[in-house]
């Protein structure tokens, strides 16, 4: 199929629209005939990354590109950055605000889950912003027969 490429804005603290990018990706992957299990895996990764930008950053963008072979997404935000990536990657580590916790986030499981579901994950961060690159490989097994 034709490649799909989009850029999306992610507003800080906008929990109403959080999950939009994951939903749109899910729709596009369904159109492409990918299996439910594969779509679920990818959607979880994108959802967790999207929520992190909403609840932990000053806002940013997501650039997504889908081909027959892979899904690549890069999340870039405007800071304040992650103090220690080693700490952030640990299951259970969270600095979520009380508002985020009230909304059901803050278990400290997002990044470990993203790592588990993606085929490639590159996380870099400074005070100026955080960048998270994710790649999900698509094989012929991932298409509905
Ligand atoms: N884009 C980001 N900007 C700043 N800090 C971040 C960002 N993404 C993650 N972090 C930091 O990494 C920590 C761990 O993130 P992770 O997604 O694993 O857990 P969480 O978001 O706190 O909780 P959960 O994802 O389980 O709801 C966060 O609490 C936060 O300190
Ligand atoms: Mg998270």
71-128 tens-digit pLDDT? 999 999 999 999 999 999 999 999 999 999 999 999 999 999 999 999 999 999 999 9
Q: How far is the CA of 140 from the centre of ligand 2 (A)?
A: 31
Q: Which ligand lies nearest the alpha carbon of 97?
A: 1
Domain assignments of the chain as residue spans, ordered by start: 4-142
- pLDDT mean over 11-36: 95
Q: Which ligand lies nearest the alpha carbon of 101?
A: 1
CB atoms within 10 A of CB 62: 24
Give Cβ neighbours of residue 84 (< 8 Å, ≥ 6 apart): none
Q: How large a percentage of the chain has pLDDT more than 90? A: 96
Whether 50 lines ligand 1, by a CB cut-off of 6 Å, is no
pLDDT for 31 equals 97
Rounded mean pLDDT of the chain?
Answer: 97
pLDDT for 123 equals 98
CA atoms lying within 13 Å on the CB side of residue 29: 28
pLDDT for 35 equals 98
- Calculate helix-pair angle for 20-31, 36-56, nearest 10 degrees: 160
Cα separation, 144 vs 78, whole angstroms: 39
- pLDDT mean over 10-16: 93
CATH number 3.30.565.10 is the correct assignment for the domain at 4-142: yes
Q: Which two tokens stand for residue 74?
A: 């890069």
Whether 77 lines ligand 1, by a CB cut-off of 6 Å, is yes
Q: How far is the CA of 83 from the centre of ligand 2 (A)?
A: 15
Q: How far is the CA of 128 from the centre of ligand 2 (A)?
A: 19
> Model pTM greater than 0.95?
yes
pLDDT for 60 equals 98
């Amino acid at each position: 199929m034709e490649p799909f490429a989009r850029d999306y804005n992610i507003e800080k603290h906008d929990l109403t629209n959080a999950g939009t990018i994951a939903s749109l990706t899910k729709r596009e992957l369904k159109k492409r005939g990918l299996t439910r299990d594969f779509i679920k895996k990818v959607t979880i990764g994108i959802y967790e990354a999207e929520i992190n930008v909403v609840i932990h950053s000053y806002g940013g963008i997501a650039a997504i590109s889908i081909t027959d072979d892979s899904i690549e997404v890069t999340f870039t935000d405007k800071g304040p950055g992650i103090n220690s990536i080693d700490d952030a990657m640990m299951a259970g580590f969270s600095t979520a605000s009380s508002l985020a916790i009230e909304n059901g986030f803050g278990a400290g499981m997002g990044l470990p889950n993203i790592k588990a579901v993606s085929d490639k994950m590159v996380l870099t961060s400074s005070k100026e912003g955080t960048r998270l690159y994710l790649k999900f490989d698509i094989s012929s097994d991932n298409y509905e027969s």
